Amino acid sequence: MFPKKPLTKGSHIRVLSPSSSIHRLGGFEANLAAKERLEALGFHLSFSSHYLVPADALDSVPIADRVADLHEAFADESVDAILATIGGSNANELLPYLDYALIAQNPKILCGYSDTTALLNAIYAKTGLVTIMGPSYSSFKMVEGQPYQTASWLAATSLASYDLTPSPEWSSDAWYDPSLPRQFFPTTWKVYAHGRASGTAIGGNLSTFGLLRGTPYAPQPDRYVLFLEEAESDDYIEFNRHLAAILQAYPDPQAVLIGRFPKECQMTEETLLYILDKHPVLKTIPVLYDLDFAHTQPLFSLRIGAQVTVDTSNLSIRFD
């Protein structure tokens, strides 16, 4: 099931915080550049009722407040799309308390990345609604790389077919602090194993996606393509453990697409290939790595729950 409306100029976007609060990012005023950029694209923004509630010791607000904000956004007929503020570490706390019938009756665009992985996959699993892994509200503060990031997001939210393409260049620096220098490198998507395959896109942040294993919120499509990436807090040792666990829970992927690792993971290409070599299934299906999603910048937008076709012969990734 696709959202009822595509994102177009004049659409109303509700910004809310399913995990970390805006206070983690310095507060509302410190992030006005994101609001201004989205408004310059032609969108109307509003913020959830509990948006400015003071953050707790985990940089979040009470579960009940976050659940209420999501329900309010889905129930409000004037809201066309929902955008998460940022990731965090506890979006999975919300899953038992969500009204999935309400969400299914009001299908609309929901977008975020990182910890929002839990919400995106759970809502797809419980309702069939296609969700979008892409930039968060705070991501629109970024200047360098923003044209690529915005173009991919607009393509995904158009609800038409579109192709993922490599960014011109990428960075693993603190994009959210313009006072710090940034270093960019040419983008090269890489092939571990060749092939062509189609399936339903699931996954996202690997450690967060793993939290859904064994719960009613883990998606179970018949044929699936795994999108997997790690955040700055999980190094190559954690990736090794998390990948093994996911391939035990999802042993028959049609393809595996791996996001580029942030520098904090200390992942080298030699180490990554060593880890991939451990798993025989990865030699029999298309596997790409160093792709533009999640914790390096800029990032492309992908649809969780939608059909995707991967062809390594021309590095093609197409959502239908």
The pLDDT tens digits along the chain (320 residues) read 999 999 999 999 999 999 999 999 999 999 999 999 999 999 999 999 999 999 999 999 999 999 999 999 999 999 999 999 999 999 999 999 999 999 999 999 999 999 999 999 999 999 999 999 999 999 999 999 999 999 999 999 999 999 999 999 999 998 888 778 889 999 999 999 999 999 999 999 999 999 999 999 999 999 999 999 999 899 999 999 999 999 999 999 999 999 999 999 999 999 999 999 999 999 999 999 999 997 999 999 999 999 999 999 999 999 99
Which of 21, 114, 139, 172 is catalytic? The answer is 114
Question: Which pLDDT score, from 0 to 100, does residue 181 have?
Answer: 84
Using an 8 Å Cβ cutoff, are 308 and 163 in contact?
Answer: no
CA angle at 87 for the pair 36 and 179, rounded to the nearest 5°:
55
Instruction: Say whether 295 is catalytic.
Output: yes
Return the amino acid letter for 162: Y
Instruction: Say whether 229 is catalytic.
Output: yes
CA angle at 128 for the pair 312 and 80, rounded to the nearest 5°:
95
Which of 11, 21, 136, 229 is catalytic? The answer is 229
Q: Could you tell me whether strands 316-319 and 169-170 are parallel, antiparallel, or unpaired per DSSP bridges?
A: unpaired
Question: Which pLDDT score, from 0 to 100, does residue 280 have?
Answer: 98
Question: Which pLDDT score, from 0 to 100, does residue 179 have?
Answer: 79
Question: Which pLDDT score, from 0 to 100, does residue 294 have?
Answer: 76
- Of the candidates 233, 223, 228, which has an alpha carbon nearest to the alpha carbon of residue 210? 228
Using an 8 Å Cβ cutoff, are 190 and 290 in contact?
Answer: yes
Which of 23, 50, 242, 295 is catalytic? The answer is 295
- The answer to whether the peptide bond before residue 96 is cis (omega within 30 degrees of 0) is no
Q: Which residues contact 313 (CB under 8 A, 6 or more apart)?
A: 194, 196
Q: Please give the Cα distance from 216 to 83 (Å, whole number).
A: 24
Match 């004049």 to its residue by tokens.
10
Instruction: Say whether 158 is catalytic.
Output: no
Q: Which residues pair with 171 in a beta bridge?
A: 297
Question: Which pLDDT score, from 0 to 100, does residue 307 have?
Answer: 98
Q: How is residue 146 written in tokens? A: 């923003």
What the chain holds in terms of domains, given with CATH numbers, is 12-141 (3.40.50.10740), 169-319 (3.50.30.60)
Question: Which pLDDT score, from 0 to 100, does residue 175 have?
Answer: 81
